[in-house]
Amino acid sequence: MKVNDLVLQTVAKVIVFMIIIFSIYLFWTGHYTPGGGFVGGLMASSGLVLLLVAFDVETVKNVIPFDYKMLIATGLLVAVLTGLGSFLFDVPFLTHTFGYLHLPALGEVSLATASLFDLGVYLVVVGVTMTIIQTIGENE
């Protein structure tokens, strides 16, 4: 029996972007309001899971040709490099700094190196969740 889940698929296509944007919002404002890399990452992966539910594993793989295991490694690398970067300035491992930048389009923006670290966390969480769910999902 062919199941026609047109509604689900159409809605999913729209919702996924909103979820992803929300997750980026959570990540980006984590330093000031509730959120951060962890919740952001989980939220992003929940968006991807929605795709997995609406379509099948193969389709999602074709559309988003990510090897999520690489994502874990990249995230860990970003986090460790952020920590190592502090050695360049002759300060202890994982010492963060922050400052205010004047960007052309956005005006005054505060940037913290801690956000880079949080980016690592974000990537790892997305990678881990998706690896686990995809692996179990593919398993016969």
Q: Which residues bind another protein (CB under 8 A)?
A: 26, 30-39, 42-43, 46, 69, 72-73, 75-76, 79-80, 83, 93-94, 96, 98-99, 110, 112, 114-115, 117-118, 120-121, 124-125, 127-129, 131-132, 135-136, 139
Nearest distance, CB of residue 52 and another protein, angstroms: 11
3-state secondary structure string, 41-76?
Answer: HHHHHHHHHHHHHHCCHHHHHHHCCCCHHHHHHHHH
* Identity of the residue, 10 or 112, whose beta carbon is nearer to another protein in the bound complex: 112
Calpha distance 23→72 (Å, rounded): 18
What's the min distance (Å) between Cβ of 82 and another protein?
A: 8
Closest to another protein by CB, 55 or 117? 117
Joined together, the tokens standing for residue 41 give 């990452």
**Closer CB to another protein, 2 or 100, in the complex:** 100
Question: CA separation (Å) from 22 to 38, 46, 90, 113?
Answer: 13, 11, 37, 22
Nearest approach, Cβ of residue 128 and another protein (Å): 4
Cβ closest to another protein, residue 2 vs residue 73? 73
Secondary structure element (H or E) that encloses residue 111, with its range: strand 107-112
Instruction: Give the Cα separation of 66 and 73 in Å (integer).
Output: 13
Give min distance, CB of 9 to another protein, in A: 20
